[in-house]
Amino acid sequence: MDLYRPVLFLVFGFVAVKCRDIRLFDNSRDISEGVLGLTPTSNLIEFLSVEKSSVDETRNRFKLRFTKNVQDLKFEVFDLDSPLPRSGSEGQEDGGVSTFTFTIGVHGVHEALCVVSTSDKRSSIMFVLDNSKGGAGRQDSIRIGEFAILPPGDIVYETDEDAQFKVFVTKGTETSDQRRHPLQVRFHVFNITSGEFKNVYDFDSVAVASRKELAGGVNETTITVKTSEHYITGMLNVVYSSRTEIGALVTQVIVSRLIVLRPSVQSNAYPDGEIGFVKKRSSETC
């Protein structure tokens, strides 16, 4: 997943700068209410199919078909040659079926990234698509992993104590990447003690995870953030990645949720006046 890290931060994150450094899935119906003690709700979309067709020697066209469970959704397309999103067009078919169609060039890395997110980018689904000139031209089914976090809302901790939360996932259509666990957490946080903003990708330096499997195939991961050692506040990007079978048109599905981590003495993700948006002059660098 390191390959997608710059795009993931742009898509699932935000830009927060002071020249210092800069809802995905709701709980699925398939997550056991008895196991989690939660009331299941719908995913952002119900996937129906995706098609790939050749426009010319250098371009492919993709058409994603789905039904919406959340109406206010944002659609973006990326390739690994550029961090900037490309455009596409939304459409409607009979029976309440929605579509998103886009055309993209074929590059050295034959993958295209189609991202569906809520308008605030707090919840997202990324489809990694085979953008080669060969391979599968259609895929009609994929089970996207369910995803839930307890407690709901902000993760709040007391000063000099560790913060803790649980992530519950049931696997989607998956051939797991054996190099790393499919559940990852990225930290985009402000260190209150040092006054520094950091993107922390070394999970073990700031947190500990313990995992177990529950009934019904639900995987429970308890995340303990070492806030007793690191007085941090900010956003956590919880990411779950599922790989499909070799040769599929959808090669990977990545679901993500941004959540707030903060001390109880603070009401927002970042202290007032410390992190914000600034206009950069053309002659300045951060």
The answer on pLDDT for 98 being more than 60 is: yes
pLDDT of 275 reads: 62
Q: Percentage of the chain surpassing pLDDT 70? A: 77
What are 176-235's pLDDT values in tens digits?
555 567 888 999 999 999 999 999 988 999 999 999 988 877 889 999 999 999 999 999
The answer on pLDDT for 101 being more than 60 is: yes
pLDDT of 26 reads: 37
Domain regions of the chain by residue span:
2-263
Terminal-residue alpha carbon distance, the chain: 27
**How confident is the model over 75-92, as a mean pLDDT?**
87
For the chain, list the strands marked E by DSSP: 45-56, 59-68, 73-79, 82-86, 89-93, 97-105, 111-118, 123-130, 138-139, 146-150, 155-157, 163-170, 183-191, 196-200, 207-213, 218-225, 232-243, 250-263
What are 13-53's pLDDT values in tens digits?
443 333 333 233 333 344 445 455 554 445 799 999 999 99
pTM assigned to the model: 0.79
